[in-house]
Each structure stands twice: as structure tokens, then as C-alpha cells.
Amino acid sequence: MGSAIADVAARAGVSKATASRALSGKGYVAEATRKRVVQAAEEIGFVASPNAASLVTGKTKNIGVVIPFINRWFFGEILEAIEEALLNSGFDMTLYNLHPGSAERDRVFNFFLARKRFDGVIAVGVEPTAEEAGRLLRLGIPMVSVGAPVPGIRSLTIDDVAAARVATEHLLGLGHRRVLHIGGHVADPAENTVHNLRLAGYRQAMFAAGLASEARATQTTMSVPGGYDAGTHALSDATSRPSAIFAACDEIAIGVIIAARRIGIRVPGDLSVIGIDGHEYAEMFSLTTIEQRPREQGLAAVTDLLSAVGGEPCAPEVVDMPARLVVRASTAHVGVVADAV
Amino acid sequence: MGSAIADVAARAGVSKATASRALSGKGYVAEATRKRVVQAAEEIGFVASPNAASLVTGKTKNIGVVIPFINRWFFGEILEAIEEALLNSGFDMTLYNLHPGSAERDRVFNFFLARKRFDGVIAVGVEPTAEEAGRLLRLGIPMVSVGAPVPGIRSLTIDDVAAARVATEHLLGLGHRRVLHIGGHVADPAENTVHNLRLAGYRQAMFAAGLASEARATQTTMSVPGGYDAGTHALSDATSRPSAIFAACDEIAIGVIIAARRIGIRVPGDLSVIGIDGHEYAEMFSLTTIEQRPREQGLAAVTDLLSAVGGEPCAPEVVDMPARLVVRASTAHVGVVADAV
DNA sequence: TTGAAAGCGCTAACAT
DNA sequence: ATGTTAGCGCTTTCAA
């Protein structure tokens, strides 16, 4: 049952210290003793208590992850990548799903994360405030942010403005003039920043093309049903219908395509749609998209954080991940058109 | 920085013991003292070290969760519900994403979960073996299983055979005779059990209707693209085409519907499709489905587990969650047709 | 109602 | 190469 390292030591006929050294691999132990200790440990099914170890070493081998959504493709991918990378390095991942605008936020940042239970924290798409970030850093808990630039801590983002510009330019390059932008809800704090950046990129491109007066933007939930509703509405009137749509994320884009086909509009053909994310459904819907490669972002976040946990502080700067525009036709991947960054 | 309870005690002019009692609310403390201690704690930003507390109490306030997928709708919903319920009860959730057939499985069950870091374990859709379950139980770590019956531990499932039977009967009741079943891959351990149960229910219904010779079943990945591929294939030949399809999950069903509409087959109309899960996209696709209500399953799992953690062992039996057949037409919810259990 | 002291299981000096 | 000792920060008897 609750076997302790003392039991292992007794069984192997050594002291607790030697047993500890033998099992952890730190410090000098004779090969023969090491074997005896390891075997004794296996025989009684000993697994060290990480709590006791943490108490003395100050390291927990546990990373806290905060994320606003689990069940949206982009976030799910990041989460899978983070979990996998952490597990490979022997770290646990403790997950907090911070619903946008939730009252739990304070409790999570000031209680759950502020305890000495974590070697580091990864915040995905939550944009920690200066106070939230500062408190953790003062406690000696390094933090990296993914998807939201936070002053003073390392942040991994794509250049959302540039990506949106490239997306819009792609549609303009196809000869479109009536390009509608469908973005996320400004009211939603978790979507606000990214929404505004992508909207800005769209406006820049429209302006640069001398089409400022043609710029039109609507908002919806960043989800397939959200895109479906917005698409149904935007495409209902055949005379005022846009010929192209730049959706702020692939889920909206997919919803738009479903709505369009429902109405009898061919996509691509009658309507060009471009999204951002690189959603796994993109090929199925012949969707042109700007790949954001969430798995790479998650992996990079872990790498950066663990280097800070390991002692080397990583530069607290905003690092833009490469994104790329991918055009797909039917179910075939046609190629990389441009780097968005 | 690393403020300890001794600092709080000193600041409040009491002993560590009194400070501990005041902050935890256990044991007698004069109201005036309690206030002083709480204030002192706030002033220096004290948050107790859970590791130190765990070491003496044996409780960690931390639950391990094992799940095969994060980025599939059904699993994501369960996960969100579990996380929310645990957080509300003051528990941390440490997540292990156990890819089906992965070599990590041993390490997760025998090392990560077997340490004294968890008060309990929730296994979602992973079907722990008798050894895996037994080891944890012997360590005094209670476990509940969701979505897979495990002998000896409490398991929450829907009655998959009954649900599949009801689904098939629904199509037969609509007058269909050529009902195709599209299931998951048998080779995939994480889908094997559920696939077989649903296939069995389909066969039962076909047999009972005297249509055993009409029974046809194919397999694909349990995903939208998987359903799209299988649907494209199954519907390509207009003469041998089924008039109805029972998909083993909503993601397959949605893929089938997309494929059908691509080909020009109206759904519903030319083809009836039914799935299982209650996916959030169901309405958008006019999909008839059997709701499995993942959030309720997640919540029930937490409730059951925490009661065991709290001391009351819960019966190690298989409990079937209610599932229900929901028919949707256009975007309107028409009603509950039957209870699947 | 409070304090003193013991100890949870482990690791890290320091001795040997 | 191994053992001895002293805690890590907290909770919990047991006395007062």
C-alpha cells in the first residue's frame, strides 16, 4: 500500500539516502547497489511521492495551463500538443478551462495558480493582465502566453494583422471587389483582441486597394453554427450578395460554406471563401485558409517554458509564429501561396 | 515571495497551529484571532502549499483524468464538464491524453497515476484493464470509468446496444429496408468496444425486422472526414445506394450528409441519416440523433468519484445513463421520440 | 482557546 | 560509495 522509500532502503539493506540516489540517478551509487535498490523498489511497487520530493526540491514537475475553450478545434489542437510535449518531458499538465468573462478567473489566477504547485504556467488565448502575470512572476513561476501578446512575458502569436491582410489580398487578387469580412464578437473578451487585429488587417488591405468604401464587416460567434447563421444572413439577398468572404476563423468559414451550398451557391465558383486556422475540415470543404499550425504553437510554448523552468530565462518578447496561406482545390492541396509573416 | 504559514503566524502574533486552524476553518479559533490571521495572510499574500498539506493529510485535492481524444466533440464536452465540476469543488484536474494504442499507456497508468498525487482517477473511454484498475484501487485511489464498463469499478455508460437498436428501428419505422451501418474502426482499441456494441444493436434490429439479409456494415474513422469518405463511397452507385444510414456517431453522420449533398442527394428526403451523440452541429445538418449528453456523464462521474474520495465508496457497478432519440427537422427541435434505455 | 512538538516522505549537505 | 542529519511547510495530537 503506502510503501515509502524507507521500505525500499530496508529491503535493499541500504540507507534512505542511498535508495534515493539510486532511484533518482543523482549522485554516486555503486552499480551493484543501484540494481538491488531498483529491484527492491519494483518488488514492493514503490513509486516516489512527488509531493514530498517537491517540498524539498521546490520543483513540482507540474505545469498549469489556462485556456478559454477546450472544444474548439484550434484550442483542442494546441492542448493536445502541449500535453504531449509535457508528458514527454515528464511533466504533469493541470488544466483550467477559463470561460470568457467568468468570475472564476480571479480564483484561478490568485489561488489555484498562485500556489507552489506549478513550475510554470502556459496561458492560451486568455491575455493575462499585468497584475495576473506580475503576481506569478514575483512568485518565481515563469509564464508564457500563446495567442495573446502580454508585455513582460514571452508571447507566441501569429501576426494577425498581416495574416488578415494576406487573406484579403488573396481574394482581391482573384478579382473580387465585394469582399465581406465576418468576424468574432467584440463583446467576448476571449475573442476581442484577435477579432480586432484581423479586422484591422482586412481594412488595411481594402484601403490599400482603394476599396475602403466597399469594406463591410459583420460579427458572429466563432463557431460553425455562428458562421452558418451569419452566412445565411449575408447571402440571402441575391442582389447585394458579396462575391467573396474573409472569415476570421475557419469555423466561421465552414459555416458560411454550408449555408451557401444550402442556398444553392457554389463554393468555390459563385463565392470565394477564405479562413484562418488550417482546420482539419478545410480540405473537405475546399476551403482556402491560412494555416496557424496550433500544434507548433503548443510545442513552442512548452519548449520555451521548460527552458525557463530549467533555469535559463527566455526573452520576454512577442514572437510571431510563421503562418501560411494554403489554397486547396477539391480535396487536393495545391500549394503554398505566400507567407503571411 | 515564498511566504510560509510561520510568517502569517508571526505577523498575527499566534502560533503556526492557530494560524493553520484559522485559515483552514478546522478546530476552535476565537473569532477575533481568526480575523487577525486572515488579515495577516492577505497582507503578505500567503497561499498555503498544497504539497506540504498533502504530505500530512494524505489528500491532494487533485484528480487525474485519462482520455483518448481531446479534439473530438463528445470527449471535449465531457472534459469541459469534468473540469468545471472539479474546479467548483476546489479540485485540480491533471489531464493525460492517452492516444489509442500508444506506448505511453503503461507509463501513465503505472507511473503517473500510481504516485500519491491523486485523490482519484476518472478514465474516459479508455477501458482500463483489470491490472490497471486493480493497481490503483490497491493504492487506495478510487476510480470511475466513463463510456466503458470495467468490472469492479463504477462505470457510467449508455446502453450502446439499446441505443443502436432504437436508432435502427427508427429508420425501419420510417419504411426503410436498405439501411446501411457505418461504424468505427475495429482496429482502434479506443473505438472497438463501442463500435461492436452499436453494430450488435443494429444487427438485432435488422434481424428482428426480418431483414437480416439486408444488413450491411462498413467502417471508417470516427470523424467528419471519415464519414465523408465512407459516405462518398457508399453513395456513389445510384442503383445499389442505401435509402438510410445509421452512423455510429454524429461525426460520421455529418460527414455522410456533407458527402450526400455534394453528390446531389437531398438529406433528409432522398436519404435518411441517424447518428449518436447529440452533436452541437446536429440541428444545422437536420440530423436525427440519439443524445448521449456528455456533459451529464462528466458531471455524474465527478459526483460519484468525489463521494468515494470523501469516504463513501460508491457501488462498483455499471450504471447506464439515459440516452434519448431526438428528431430534428430543419432547424427546429421536433421532440423526444423514445428513450433508448 | 491556544501552543509545543512530532512527523508526513523525501532530498541534500556533510561526514565518513 | 554510503550513511547520518537536518529540514522542506504544513497539520495534528496532546497539554496547558
Helix (H) or strand (E) run with residue B148 in it = none
Using alpha carbons only, give the angle A150, A82, B145 rounded to the nearest 5 degrees. 130
Lowest mean pLDDT among A201-215, A319-333, B296-310: A319-333
Give how far Cα A177 sits from Cα of A215, A244, A260, Å. Answer: 9, 8, 19
Q: Is the pLDDT of residue B63 over 60?
A: yes
For A330, name the nearest residue in chain B, comparing CA atoms only: B262
What Cα–Cα distance (Å) separates residue B330 from each residue in A175, B287, B288? Answer: 35, 9, 10
pLDDT in tens, B246-303: 999 999 999 999 999 989 999 988 999 999 999 999 988 989 999 999 999 999 999 9
Domain boundaries, chain B: 5-57, 62-158+294-323, 160-291
Q: Tell me if A5-57 shares its fold with A62-158+294-323.
A: no
Confidence label for B153 from pLDDT (cuts 50, 70 and 90): very high
Q: Which of B179, B125, B122, B129 is nearest to B303 (CA)?
A: B122
CA distance A133 to A150: 8
- Which whole-number Å values give the CA distances from B302 to B61, B63, B109, B298, in the listed order? 13, 9, 19, 6
Which is it for strands B272-277 and B216-219: parallel, antiparallel or unpaired? unpaired
Contact A199, A184 (CB under 8 A): no
Q: Which amino acid, one-letter code, is at B212?
A: A
Q: What is residue B333's predicted lDDT score, i.e. its pLDDT? A: 39
pLDDT tens readout for residues B77-99: 999 999 999 999 999 999 999 98
Among left, alpha and beta (phi > 0; psi -120 to 50; other), residue B101 is left
- Give the confidence band of B336 by pLDDT, cuts at 50, 70, 90: very low
Rounded Cα distance, B63 and A108, in Å: 16
Nearest chain B CA: its distance from A252 CA (Å): 13
Of B66 and A238, more confident = B66
Closest CA to A271 of A232, A304, A297: A232
Helix (H) or strand (E) holding B311: none
Provide the pLDDT for residue A327: 62
* A301 vs A293: CA distance, rounded Å: 13
Chain segment B108-149, per-residue pLDDT in tens: 999 999 999 999 999 999 989 999 999 999 999 999 999 988
pLDDT digits (tens, 9 = 90+) for A151-169: 999 999 989 999 999 999 9
Radius of gyration (C-alpha) of chain B in whole angstroms: 25
SS (H, E, C) chain A: CCCCHHHHHHHHCCCHHHHHHHHHCCCCCCHHHHHHHHHHHHHCCCCCCHHHHHHHHCCCCEEEEEECCCCCHHHHHHHHHHHHHHHHCCCEEEEEECCCCCCHHHHHHHHHCCCCCCCEEEEECCCCCHHHHHHHHHCCCCEEEECCCCCCCEEEEECHHHHHHHHHHHHHHCCCCCEEEEECCCCCHHHHHHHHHHHHHHHHHHHHCCCHHHCEEEECCCCHHHHHHHHHHHHCCCCCCCCEEEECCHHHHHHHHHHHHHHCCCCCCCCEEEEEECCCCCCCCCCEEEECCHHHHHHHHHHHHHHHHCCCCCCCCEEEECCEEEEEECCEEEEEEEECC
Give the number of A-B residue pairs with CB atoms closer than 8 Å: 135
Contact between chains at B73 and A70 (C-beta distance less than 8 A): no
Q: Which nucleotides of D are covered by protein (CB under 7 A)?
A: 1-13
* A116-144 pLDDT tens trace: 999 999 999 998 999 999 999 999 999 99
State whether residue B56 is helix, strand or coil.
helix
Q: How many CB atoms lie within 10 A of CB B176?
A: 21
Which positions in chain A touch B49 (Cβ < 8 Å)?
A: 55, 115-117
- Residue A337 scores a pLDDT above 50: no
CA–centroid distance for A56 within its chain: 33
Nucleotides on strand C lying under 7 Å from protein C-beta: 1-13
**Does nucleic acid strand D have an atom less than 7 angstroms from the CB of A213?**
no
- Determine the pLDDT at residue B189: 64
Grid cell at residue A142? 515563469
> What is the rounded average pLDDT for all residues in chain B?
90
Q: Which of residues 243-272 of A touch B (CB under 8 A)?
A: 255, 258, 261
Give CA separation, A293 vs A75, A222, A324, in Å. Answer: 11, 18, 9
DSSP annotation of B112: I
Show the beta-strand stretches assigned E in B20-176: 62-67, 92-97, 120-124, 143-146, 154-158
Distance CA B110, CA B7 (A): 39
Q: How far B225 CA lies from chain A's nearest CA (Å)?
A: 7
The C-alpha angle with vertex B267 and arms to B261 and B271, in degrees rounded to 5, equals: 105
Average pLDDT of B40-44? 95
> Could you tell me the CA-to-CA distances from B66 to B81, B143, B158, B161 in Å, in that order?
14, 11, 19, 24
Mean pLDDT of A20-32: 91
With H, G, I as helix, E, B as strand and everything else as coil, classify residue B14: coil
Chain A window 20-49: which residues touch B at a Cβ cutoff of 8 Å? 45, 47-49
Contact A218, A183 (CB under 8 A): yes
With a cut of 60, say whether residue A333 has pLDDT above it.
no
Q: Which residues bind near strand C, taking a CB cut-off of 7 Å?
A: A 2, 4-6, 16-17, 20, 23-24, 26, 46, 48-49, 52-53, 55-57; B 13-18, 21, 27-30, 32-34, 52, 55-56
**CATH class label, B62-158+294-323:** alpha beta
Helix/strand/coil for B184: coil
Q: Does B21 contact strand D, using a CB cutoff of 7 Å?
A: yes
- Say what percent of chain B tops pLDDT 70: 94
Query: Three-state DSSP class for B275?
Result: strand
Closest-CA distance, B75 to chain A, in angstroms, reads 9
The pLDDT value recorded for residue A274 is 96
Closest CA to A124 of A186, A64, A61, A184: A64
Question: Residue A5 and residue A11: Cα distance in Å, rounded?
Answer: 10
Residue whose CA is minimally distant from D3 C1': A15
CA distance B141 to B135: 9
pLDDT at A326: 74
Degrees to nearest 5, angle at CA A330 with B246 and B271 = 25
State yes or no: pLDDT of A26 exceeds 60.
Answer: yes
Architecture of domain A5-57 in this structure: Orthogonal Bundle (1.10)
> CA-to-CA distance for A45 and B88, rounded, in angstroms?
34
* Number of neighbouring beta carbons within 10 Å of residue B211: 16
Q: Is A138 on the interface with B (CB under 8 A)?
A: yes
Pairwise CA distance, residues B266 & B268, whole Å: 6
Which residue bears the cell 456494415?
Answer: B217
- Nucleic strand D near CB of residue A55 (< 7 Å): yes
Distance from C-alpha of A83 to C-alpha of A51, rounded to nearest angstrom: 21
CATH superfamily of A160-291: Response regulator (3.40.50.2300)
Q: Bin A152: left if φ > 0, else alpha if -120 < ψ < 50, else beta.
A: left
Put simply, the chain A residues between 51 and 110 with a CB less than 8 A from any chain B CB are 51-52, 54-55, 60, 62, 70-71, 73, 76-77, 79-80, 83-84, 87, 92-97, 104, 108
Min Cα distance A179 → chain B (Å) is 25
If you compute the radius of gyration of chain A from its CA atoms, what whole number of angstroms results? 25
What average pLDDT score do residues B210-228 get? 94
Strand D contact at CB of residue A39, distance < 7 A: no
Interface contact flag, A47 B117, Cβ < 8 Å? no
Check pLDDT > 70 for residue A39: yes
pTM of the model: 0.94
Distance of alpha carbon A63 from alpha carbon A76, whole angstroms: 17
pLDDT in tens, A248-277: 999 999 999 999 998 999 998 899 999 999
- Is any Cβ of chain A less than 8 angstroms from the Cβ of B232? no
Q: Which nucleotide, over all strands, has the C1' atom closest to the CA of A58?
A: D8
Which residue of chain B has the CA closest to A92?
Answer: B94
> How far apart are the C-alpha atoms of B171 and B162, rounded to whole Å?
14
Chain A residues close to B50, C-beta within 8 Å: 115-117
Residue B143 is predicted with a pLDDT of 96
Band the pLDDT of B230: cuts 50, 70, 90: very high
Instruction: Give yes or no for a contact between B243 and B234, defined as CB atoms under 8 angstroms apart.
Output: no
Q: Quick check: A338 pLDDT over 60?
A: no
Q: A167-209, pLDDT tens digit by residue?
A: 999 999 999 999 999 998 876 666 678 889 999 999 999 999 9
A238 backbone dihedrals φ, ψ, rounded to 5°: -60, -30
SS (H, E, C) B201-243: HHHHHHHHCCCHHHCEEEECCCCHHHHHHHHHHHHCCCCCCCC
For A25, the grid coordinates are 540517478
